[in-house]
Amino acid sequence: MLSMEHLIHDGALLADRVAVVTGGGGGIGAATAHLFARHGAQVVIADVDAGLAQRTADEITTSGGSAVPYIADVRDADQVDEFARWVLDRFGRVDVLVNNVGHWLHHPGSFVDTDPQQWDELYRINLHHVFLVTRAFLPAMIGRHRGAIVNVSSVEGLRGYPEDPVYAAFKAAVIQFTRSLAVQVGGDGVRVNAIGPDVTETLQVPYSQWLSPDEQAQWPQWVPVGRMGVPEDQASVILFLASDLSAFVTGHTIPTDGGTGAAGGWFRSSRRAGREWTNRPIAP
C-alpha cells in the first residue's frame, strides 16, 4: 500500500491501477475517467455509445493519460461477461470498478399510471447491471485480495422522490446492495461504497438548457453551496472512494449534493426581512 505522504504529495492516487468506469463516455462517468487517468490509472471506458466512449478515450490519451474504449450495453449479461473477459485478458486484473450507469428515463406522473414494463426498464438501467458488472469483476478482485467498487446511486435513493417512486426504489436498492456487499467482502480486501449525486449538469440533466437565465440565478436559493454541481464534483468523491485515501471506509454512501440533503426542505429566501431561510417557499 502507498504511504499517506505519497498519496497526498504525489497526486497519483491510482498509480498503475486498472479502473473500469461504466458509462464512462459522458457526464459523471467521463469526468471520472479523466480524473482517474490524471491520477495514473489505466482506464477502461465501457459505454453503449461508441462515439462518446471513443471521444473520451481520445481526449485522455491526447493529454498523456491511459484509456481504452469498450462498447457494451451493461444491461446485457452476455455483453458484460464478454467485457469482463476482455479486460482481464488484456490487463490481467481490475483494481477499481465504478458502476456509474443509471437514468431516470421518463417522468411518469402518477405511480398508478405506470406499468410493469416501465418498472422493468428502470430496474435494468439502474440496478440489474450493478449486479451483472459487479459479479463479473468481483472474483478477480477477491482473487488478488484487492479492489474498490464505487456505485453511483442518487439523492433520490436517500429521500422521498414524488416524481418517480420506482426510480427512487432502485436507487435506494443500490445503496443497500453497497452496504451489504461491503460487509460480505470486507475480509476479501474489497471495499464497496457509493455516492448519491444531486443537481449536477450532465447529458441526462442539462440544466443550462432546461432553465432560463432567471431560473439559473436561483441556484443560491436551491443549493446550500450556492451553485449547481458539475461532473467533476462527483468525480473527485468517486476518486476518494476508489483510492487508498478511503482505505478504512466501506459500505457507505456519500451524498454528493451541495448540501441539498442536509437542508431538507430549507431554502435561502430574500422575501422576509431579517430572515435568510424559509421552509415555506412562496413560489417554489
Ligand X SMILES: NC(=O)c1ccc[n+]([C@@H]2O[C@H](COP(=O)([O-])OP(=O)(O)OC[C@H]3O[C@@H](n4cnc5c(N)ncnc54)[C@H](O)[C@@H]3O)[C@@H](O)[C@H]2O)c1
Cell numbers 474498490 label which residue? 148
Cell numbers at residue 243, please? 483510492
Q: Is 199 in the site for ligand X (CB under 6 A)?
A: yes
Name the grid cell of 246: 478511503
Classify residue 125 by its DSSP letter: I
Q: Which residues face 147 on adjacent strands?
A: 190
Tell which one of 13, 29, 193, 254 touches ligand X (CB under 6 A).
29
Three-state DSSP class for residue 1: coil
Binding of ligand X by 67 (CB under 6 A): no
Q: Which of the ranges 73-81, 112-120, 245-253, 276-284 carries the binding residues for ligand X, by CB under 6 A?
A: 73-81
N-term to C-term CA, the chain: 50
Stretch that binds ligand X, among 4-12, 17-25, 59-67, 268-276 (CB under 6 A): 17-25
167 catalytic residue (yes or no)? yes
Footprint of ligand X on 131-190 (CB under 6 A) = 152, 154-155
What is the C-alpha separation between 191 and 150, in angstroms, rounded? 8
Q: Within 79-108, which residues bind ligand X (CB under 6 A)?
A: 100-103
Would the CA dihedral through 222, 225, 226, 231 be positive or negative? negative
Q: Is 255 helix (H, G, I), strand (E, B) or coil?
A: strand
Q: Does 77 help bind ligand X (rule: CB under 6 A)?
A: no
By beta-carbon proximity to ligand X, the closer residue of 24 and 146 is 24
Q: On the CB side of 178, how many CA atoms lie within 13 Å of its CA? A: 30
Which residue stretch of 20-28, 36-44, 130-138, 184-192 sits at the interface with ligand X (rule: CB under 6 A)? 20-28
DSSP state, residue 259: T
Distance between CA atoms of residues 140 and 146, nearest Å: 9
C-alpha 191/C-alpha 122 separation (Å) is 26
Q: Is 48 in the site for ligand X (CB under 6 A)?
A: yes
Complex with ligand X: residue 7 or 222, whichever CB lies closer: 222
Query: Count of residues binding ligand X (CB under 6 A)?
Result: 30
Choice from 2, 142, 203, 263 touching ligand X (CB under 6 A):
203
Q: Going by C-beta distance under 8 Å and a sequence separation of 6 or more, which residues neighbour residue 248? A: none
The catalytic residue among 70, 123, 161, 167 is 167
Q: Is the Cβ of residue 218 or residue 270 nearer to ligand X in the bound state?
A: 218
Task: Please select the residue that binds ligand X; options are 49, 81, 121, 244, rule is CB under 6 A.
Answer: 49
Instruction: Catalog residues that contact ligand X under the rule CB under 6 A.
Output: 22-23, 25-29, 46-49, 52, 73-75, 100-103, 152, 154-155, 197-200, 202-205
Task: Provide the annotated active-site residues.
Answer: 167
